[in-house]
Structure 1
Amino acid sequence: MKLIIMATLVILPVALYPNPVKAEQCDGSTAEMVACGQRLFNKADARLNAVWQSLPKNKQNTLRDAQLKWIEYKERKCKAEASAIAEGGTMKPLIELGCLIGETEKRTAELEAFL
C-alpha cells in the first residue's frame, strides 16, 4: 500500500503537468535542478527577446500591448499550475520553470510567424 501511495505522489504531478524541468536536461539535487531550469528558462527568454527585436517596428507596435499581457498571463498561469500541483513541495519550482519554458517557447514560435 505504501508503494502505491508513493508511486501516486511521484507520478501524479508529472501526469498533471507533463513538462517539469526534465531530469535528462537537469539532474542532481533539487537546488541544482532549479538552477539548471532557470538557465534553460533564461535561454528560452533570450531567444524570445531576440525574435521580438528582429520584428519590424510596426509589428512590435501592433503587438506590444498583447505581448505585455502575455507576459503577465504566462507568469500567473505557471505560478497557479505549480501551486495547484505541488504547493509547498520540492517539485513546485521545477513545475513552474517547466511551464515558463514551454510557454516561452510557444510564444517565440508565434512571434516568428510575424517575421
Structure 2
Amino acid sequence: MMRFLLSSLATLILAVPPYAGTARAADDCANAQDQATMNACAGKAFDAADKKLNDAYRQIEGRLKDNAAAKRLLVDAQRAWVAFRDAECNFQGGPPADAGSMYPMVVASCQASLTNNRLKDLQGYLNCKDADTDCPVPAAR
C-alpha cells in the first residue's frame, strides 16, 4: 500500500509542468517577485500563446480539408517547427543544472515568444486573398 501511494505521488509530481506554481501566486504576474511565480507566469504565457496557435492551425486545417497533399505539408511543417522551437528554447535555457530555478522561466518565455511569432505566420496565411499566389492556404469562403 505504501509503495502504491509513493508511486502515485511521484507520478503526480512528474505530471505537473516545471513552471507550475500555486494558482494564487500566478494570478499576479505583473508583480511577480519570486522565482516560482515568475516560472508559473511564463508557463501561463506560453500556454495562452499555444492555445491561440492551435486555434489558428485548426482553422488552416479546415481550409485544407479538400487538399490532402497541402494538409500533409502543413502537418510536416508544423512538426518540424515544434521540434525547432523546443530545441531552440532548450538551447537558450542552457543545461538545466547550470540555469537552476530560472530554467523553466527562460524556456517557457522562449517558447511563448517563438509561438507568438509562428502565430503571426499562421494568421497571415488565414488572411490571404485568392490572388496571393505565394499563399499556401485558400481564402475563407
After TM superposition, the score normalised by the length of structure 1 is: 0.70
Corresponding pairs, count: 93
Q: Map residues 1-115 of structure 1 onto 2, 5 A cutoff.
A: 25=30, 27-55=32-60, 56-57=63-64, 58=67, 60-83=71-94, 87-115=98-126
Aligned to 1:28, what secondary structure does the other structure show?
Answer: coil
Given the superposition, is the C-alpha separation of residues 26 and 61 from structure 1 closer, same or farther in structure 2, using an over 3 Å criterion?
A: farther
Q: CA RMSD in A?
A: 2.4
Q: Distance in 2 between matches of 1:101 and 1:26?
A: 19
1:78-114 superposed Cα distances (whole Å, 9 cap, x missing partner): 0111116x82323222111111000000001011111
Equivalent pair of 2:85/2:114 in contact (CA under 8 Å): yes
Aligned residues with identical type, % of pairs? 27
Larger radius of gyration: 2
**Residue 135 of structure 2: aligned partner:** none
Moved over 6 A (4+): none
Query: Which segments of 5 or more consecutive residues in structure 2 lack a partner in the other structure?
Result: 1-28, 127-141
After TM superposition, the score normalised by the length of structure 2 is: 0.58
Equivalent pair of 1:26/1:32 in contact (CA under 8 Å): no
Equivalent pair of 1:33/1:94 in contact (CA under 8 Å): yes
Give 1:26 deviation, angstroms.
5.9
